[in-house]
Amino acid sequence: MVTAVVFIVVAAALIVVILVGAGVRIVQQYERGIVFRFGRVLPETRGPGLALLVPFVDRMHKVSQQIVTLPIPAQDGITRDNVTVRVDAVVYYRVVDPVRVAVDVQDYASAILQVAQASLRSIIGKSELDDLLSNRERLNQGLELMLDNPAIGWGIHIDRVEIKDVVLPESMKRSIARQAEAER
């Protein structure tokens, strides 16, 4: 009789520990937790620390709010003055609305990369070679505006965009060197 009662008490305690363990999550300082209850997102996000969930009912999706450095692979393009160039850049962005990022866009990092590549090709086509080489600050700002427009709707803020390198074809390098030598 006593052993049956002890067994029941131990089993009940074990079940309580398992249920409490299933409902506790840790959210890091740089993350926010989005809770889905039966598939519907709850309006408030969970901040850093322990987050208590209803076991087997709630699911938590964590979203990092750190600044992400996203390199844009080199894009080939033809400038407005018909020079073929290869340009690469880097985008710095961060999540400002974790609920929108989790619900509105499936893979926000890939979406930002695709928009950045298309915008970089567009900037190359609208610019002249001299602008690409000398007015990078203005081109960076224009690229940032082109990226920021769709990103705001996804809950992402573009902190900065930098054009890293502009590579000219060898024939263009030689003709620029010849022209510079002739001017001297």
Mean pLDDT in order along the chain per 10 residues (184 residues): 80 78 87 94 92 90 94 89 88 95 92 93 87 85 90 93 84 69 70
**Residues facing residue 182 across a β-bridge:** none
Q: What is the largest CA-CA distance in the chain?
A: 107
Residue 51's CB: how many other CB atoms inside 10 A? 19
The pLDDT, as a whole number, for residue 168 is: 80
The pLDDT, as a whole number, for residue 184 is: 66
**Residues facing residue 33 across a β-bridge:** 46, 62
Q: Specify the amino acid at residue 144.
A: E
Contact predicate 147/112, CB 8 Å: yes
Whole-structure pTM value: 0.80
The pLDDT, as a whole number, for residue 5 is: 80
The pLDDT, as a whole number, for residue 173 is: 65
Torsion-angle region of residue 134: left (phi > 0), alpha (psi -120 to 50) or beta? alpha
Q: How far is CA 95 from CA 25, 38, 62, 175, in A?
A: 21, 25, 12, 45
**Residues facing residue 72 across a β-bridge:** 89
**Residues facing residue 157 across a β-bridge:** 94
Q: 């024939």: which residue's tokens?
A: 171
The pLDDT, as a whole number, for residue 6 is: 80
